[in-house]
């Protein structure tokens, strides 16, 4: 594997380019991939797709980072932090691509730190507060199962070579994310009466936000089968599908997003253009 194929290996390299979210010294992990928009691809549609998927990953990563120092065990703290880092890497690549093709020339940092909450296009599931550990693993299961199905399709057949490459890299990461979450859902659901109760409550709380995930990608049957299989192994009841009003992809968000962004963006906004 070449060093420029891995998004994390160049963290310590000396470069003039300073990035708020990702430190300094990143080489392009898509080195050699043609970044021009292919014929027949609408740049606006490609930018919107990358922005939505990038925002999903960015906000999910921020919520996972909140578990650092608060997870029930050190091993789980490390696991959740690493999953968050995977998603942060996906966010960087996707937001960069969105800025390349939307005609604005915005960087990933511009998109991450200089937008207001109603300009974000993430699904509302990822912005909800963490709740207890059972809720967080229920959300991670739903989110990663859906995202994995979407990325597998993008990696196999999207016309944009950059998005295909990002998705192919993400498939490997998301496979682990889904497995990690599924194992915890089963462990808690098929555990003690208390862990079973909490795990069922976690699934029930996530359920109203599942339908929103299906609006942008036809993966309902595949994801539904995964969730049903895990719920059965965990002796849990998979809640009936609900559909809440509003759409995160259209900028409709819960009141939870603005405080999360305030905390995430505070330093970058206080020191605009700052470098480390």
Rounded Cα distance, 183 and 60, in Å: 19
Angle separating helix axes 161-189 and 133-157, nearest 10 degrees: 150
> How does residue 29 score in pLDDT terms, banded at 50, 70 and 90?
low
> How does residue 14 score in pLDDT terms, banded at 50, 70 and 90?
very low
Global pTM? 0.88
Higher-pLDDT residue of 16, 158: 158
pLDDT of residue 8 exceeding 90, the answer is no
- Domains of the chain with CATH codes: 42-269 (1.20.1260.10)
Residue at token pair 């937001």? 95
Phi, psi of 215 (to 5 degrees): -70, -25
What is the average per-residue pLDDT within 260-273? 91
Q: pLDDT for 175-232, tens place per residue?
A: 999 999 999 999 999 999 999 999 999 999 999 999 999 987 889 999 999 999 999 9
% of the chain residues with pLDDT over 90: 77
- Whether 67 and 136 have beta carbons less than 8 Å apart is answered as yes
Q: Give the tokens for residue 243.
A: 């559909």
């Amino acid at each position: 594997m070449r060093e420029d194929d891995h998004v994390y290996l160049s963290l310590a390299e000396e470069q003039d380019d300073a990035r708020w979210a990702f430190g300094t010294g990143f080489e392009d992990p898509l080195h050699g991939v043609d970044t021009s928009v292919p014929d027949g691809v609408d740049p606006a549609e490609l930018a919107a797709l990358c922005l939505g998927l990038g925002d999903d990953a960015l906000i999910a990563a921020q919520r996972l980072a909140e578990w650092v120092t608060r997870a029930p065990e050190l091993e789980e703290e490390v696991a959740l932090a690493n999953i968050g880092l995977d998603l942060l890497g996906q966010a960087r690549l996707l937001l960069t691509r969105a800025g390349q093709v939307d005609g604005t020339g915005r960087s990933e940092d511009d998109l991450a730190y200089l937008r207001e909450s109603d300009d974000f296009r993430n699904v509302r599931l990822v912005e909800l507060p963490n709740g207890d550990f059972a809720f967080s693993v229920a959300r991670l299961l739903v989110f990663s199962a859906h995202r994995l199905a979407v990325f597998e399709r993008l990696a196999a057949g999207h016309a944009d070579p950059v998005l295909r490459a990002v998705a192919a890299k993400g498939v490997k990461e998301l496979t682990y994310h889904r497995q990690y979450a599924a194992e915890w859902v089963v462990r808690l659901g098929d555990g003690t009466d208390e862990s079973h109760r909490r795990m069922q409550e976690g699934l029930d709380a996530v359920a109203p936000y599942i339908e929103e995930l299906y609006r942008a990608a036809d993966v309902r049957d595949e994801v539904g089968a995964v969730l049903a299989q895990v719920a059965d192994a965990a002796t849990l009841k998979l809640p009936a599908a609900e559909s809440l009003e509003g759409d995160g992809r259209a900028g409709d968000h819960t009141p939870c997003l603005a405080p999360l962004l305030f905390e995430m963006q505070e330093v970058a906004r206080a020191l605009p253009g700052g470098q480390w």
